A and B are shown apart, each in its own frame.
Chain A
Amino acid sequence: MFSDFTAAELGAIFAMQGFAGLILFAVFVLMALGLAIIFGQMGVINMAHGEFMILGAYVTFMTSNLFANHFPDYFGSYFFFAIIFAFFAAALLGALVEWGMIRFLYHRPLDTLLATWGLSLIMQQSYRSIFGAREVGVVIPDWLRGSYRVTDMIEVPINGLFVMGLAIFATLFVAILMYRSRWGKQVRAVVQNREMAGAVGINSARVDRLTFALGCGIAGVAGSAFTMIGSTGPTAGQAYIVDTFLVVVFGGAGSLLGTVASAFSISQSQSILEFFIGGSMAKVLTLLIVVIILMFRPQGLFTLKVRR
C-alpha cells in the first residue's frame, strides 16, 4: 500500500496523520485518565464515563453561549472558564452518583458495570430532553482557529495544539496529585489495602468519593476538549467508551504512564492506518491488534507490582 507514494509524500502523510492522531490521543488521554483513576484505583467500571464527558461538552456549549450573550468582550477567554465549569459540574455529579449508587456496589465490580450503564441511559435521555436530540457545536474563538504551516505539505491546526497542551497539563496534574500529594498517598494506600488504610485513620469512604469525583471531573475536561474536534450530541459519548476502556486495559490498570503510552499507540495506529485502508477498517484492525495483544499479555503494557 505504500508503493503508490514517493518517500517525501509518505513522510508528509505520516506527519499529517500523526498529528491528526495526536488530537485523538489528547481526547483518549483525558477520557482514559479519569477512567484509569476510577477503574485502576477503585476497581469500579464506569460505563457512564462517556456521558460524563458529554456533560462537560454541554457545559462548554452553555458557557460559550453565556459569554456570547452577556460578555461578548471577553468571548476569547470563555474556554478557560468552560474547562473549570465542566470539571466542577462533572465532579459534582460524580460525587452524587458515588454517594447514591456506587458505594453500595464496591464488592460487586461486575454489577457496577450494569448499574452505571443504566445511569448512562438516563443521562443520555436527560440530555435529549434538555438540549434536544440535535447535535450542537460551539463557536471556537478566533485565536484558536487557523493553522501553522510547517512545510508546504504539513499544516498543524492550532486548536489541536491547544487540546494537546490541555491533555499534557491534566496528566501532569493527576500525576502530581497521585504521587506527590498527601491525598494521593491516601488513595494509593486504600487501593493497596482498604482495611489497613482504615486502621491507620484514613477515611476510605471519603477518599473513594473524591477519587470518583476527580475521575468524572477529568472526563468533564475531556468533554471541553471534545467540543473542539466534534459536535456534541446526546449519544456522542457512547462511541468512545469501548476505545477508552481498551486504552485503560491495554495500558495496564493503575499505571498512568501505561495509560498515556497505550492512548498514544492506539490513536496513532488508528490515525495512520485510516489514510491507507479507510476509517472503519483502521479501527477494526487497531482494536483487533489490541485485543490480540491483550490475550497474550492480559495485564497490559505496564503494571504495578502489587501482591494480591
Chain B
Amino acid sequence: MPFKHFKDYMSRQDILAFAVLALLLLLVLPLSLDIMRLNQVGKYLSFAFVAVGLVLCWGYGGILSLGQGVFYGLGGYALAMYLKLEASSPENTSIQTTPGIPDFMDWNRITELPWFWEPFNSFAFTLAAIIIVPSIFAYLIGVAMFKRRVGGVYFAIITQSIAAILTILIIGQQGYTGGVNGITDLRTLMGWNINTDFASYIFYFICVVLLFVCLFIAQFIRMSKTGRILVAMRGQEDRVRFSGYDIANFKIFVFIVGAAFAGIGGAMFTIQEGFMSPSFVGVVPSIEMVIFCAVGGRLSLVGAVYGALLVNVAKTTFGETFPQLWLFAMGLIFIGVVLGLPNGLAGVYNQWVAPYVDRVLDKIFGKEKTPEDIALESSTQGATS
C-alpha cells in the first residue's frame, strides 16, 4: 500500500462524492426509472468510462486526445465480434450460401471467416482483447508520439486523424466489419438471451460496478506520486524532465489507462445496446466524449460521470423535442464551458458548494485536514491550462 493513511487516498470530499454517485447509480436510478430508461442510462455510463479516462489524460496529464472513439470502438467491436460469431452459428445461418459466418460477410460474398475474426470465437480471448487491444494500440501511438516529444495540438490532430482513418476503414471494408451499419443483431451471450429486461438489469449493474472499479483505479493514480508528476508535467514539462523523470513514459502510461477505460466502455455499450457501429468511432463522437469530460470538469473524476450523464440526457430530451435547437444548444455548451467554466460543473461545485459541505463535515467529524492535503487541493484547483 503506497498510501500511509486512507485519507491520503481519498479525502473526505472524495468519499462523499463517490458515495453520492454510488447511491444515485445503484439505488435511486434503478428504483425510479423503468428498464428502458435505465438501459439508456447504462448506455450513457458507457461514455462515462471514456470521460473518466480523459480526466486522467487531459485534465491531469494535459494530453488532449481527440481519438478516444478509436479505443471505445475497438473495445466495442471486440465484444460485438464475439457476440456476432455466437449469433451466426451454422444452425442460425443455414439459409446462407456459407453457413456459420456473419450475415454481412455472406452478403458481401465472403466465403471464409477472416483470420482476425477467428480468435473471437473464444470468450476468454474476447474479454482480454477488450482491454488489451486498445492498450496495445494506445501504446504504439504513445511510443511513436511522446518519445519524439510530440504533444499538445499536434497530438490532438494526429489522434483525430487516426479516428477518421479507422472510421473510413470500417465503412469501406464492409465485408469484414459490417460497414456503416456496424455489427448488428446480437442475441445471446454464451447461450443466454441478452435482450430481455432481466439481462438489461444485470448489465446495468455490471456497468456501474465496472465504472466504480475504473473510478477507484483512477483515484489511485490521481493521488499517487504518478498523479502528482502528471500535474507537474502539465504545468512545467521541462522542469520535470530536468528533474530526471522520463516524461514520455508517464504520458504513455496515462494514455494507455485512458484507452483501456474507453475499451471497457465500448464493450459495455455493445452488450447493453446489442450493436456497435462506426458512428461511435469517428471524429464527431470522439470530440463529444471530450465535451462530456469538459462539462463535468476536467479535473474531477466523479464530475466526468455527471458530465457524460447530463450531456447525454440533454441530448436525448432536447434532441427528441427540438431537433433544430439541439445543435445550437450543444454548440453553446461547448463555447460556454470553455470560456466561462474551464473547470466545468466540478469547478462550480468546488467554488460555491464545497466550502459549506466542508463546514458541515467539520461539525460532524471535527477538523481533520493535513496541510499537505490542502496544498495539493489548491494546486490542482488553481492550475487550469
Give A residues with C-beta under 8 Å from B.
39, 43, 45, 101, 104-105, 107-111, 113-115, 117-122, 124-125, 128-129, 238, 241-242, 245-246, 249, 278, 280-281, 283-284, 287-288, 290-291, 294-296, 298
In contact, B152 and A109 (Cβ under 8 angstroms): yes
Q: Can you give 16 A-B contacts (C-beta < 8 A)?
A: A45-B153, A109-B153, A114-B287, A115-B335, A118-B331, A121-B327, A125-B327, A242-B161, A245-B160, A246-B157, A249-B157, A280-B171, A280-B172, A284-B168, A287-B168, A298-B149
Cα A193 to Cα B194 in complex, Å, equals: 61
Partner of B161, one of A43, A115, A246: A246
Separation of A241 and B284 alpha carbons in the complex (Å):
11
Question: A48 — nearest CB in chain B belongs to which residue?
Answer: B331
> Within the assembled complex, what's the spacing in Å between the Cα atoms of A30 and B290?
29
Considering the chains assembled together, what is the distance between the CA atoms of A237 and B300 in angstroms? 34
Q: Which 8 A-B pairs have the closest CB atoms?
A: A118-B334, A280-B172, A122-B331, A121-B331, A125-B327, A295-B144, A118-B331, A298-B150
> Smallest distance from the beta carbon of A235 to chain B beta carbons, Å?
10
A interface: dominant SS: helix
B259 within 8 A of partner (CB)? no
Chain B 324-357, CB within 8 Å of chain A: the 1/0 string? Answer: 1001101111110111001000000000000000
Interface: B56 (CB within 8 A)? no
- The contact size tier of chain B is 35 or more
| A278 to B171 Cα, complex, angstroms | 13
Closest to A108 in B: B385
CA of A108 to CA of B154 in the docked complex: distance in angstroms? 14
Whether A291 contacts B156 by the Cβ 8 Å rule is: no
Q: Are A117 and B334 in contact (CB under 8 A)?
A: yes
Question: For chain B residues 155-173, which have a beta carbon within 8 Å of chain A?
Answer: 156-158, 160-162, 164-165, 168-169, 171-172
Among A107, A119, A242, A245, which residue has its beta carbon within 8 angstroms of that of B335? A119
B283 at the interface (CB under 8 A from A): yes
Complexed CA–CA distance, A266 and B172 (Å): 19
B211 contacts the other chain (CB 8 A):
no
- A residues within 8 A CB of B385? 107-108
Query: Do A114 and B338 touch across chains, with their CB atoms under 8 A apart?
Result: yes
Q: State the CA gap A111–B150 with chains docked (Å).
A: 18
B172 contacts across to A, CB distance below 8 A: 278, 280-281, 284
| Chain A residues with CB below 8 A from B283, complex form | 238, 241-242
Given known A114-B294, A249-B158, contact A125–B331 (CB-CB < 8 A): yes
* CB of B68, distance to nearest CB on chain A (Å): 14
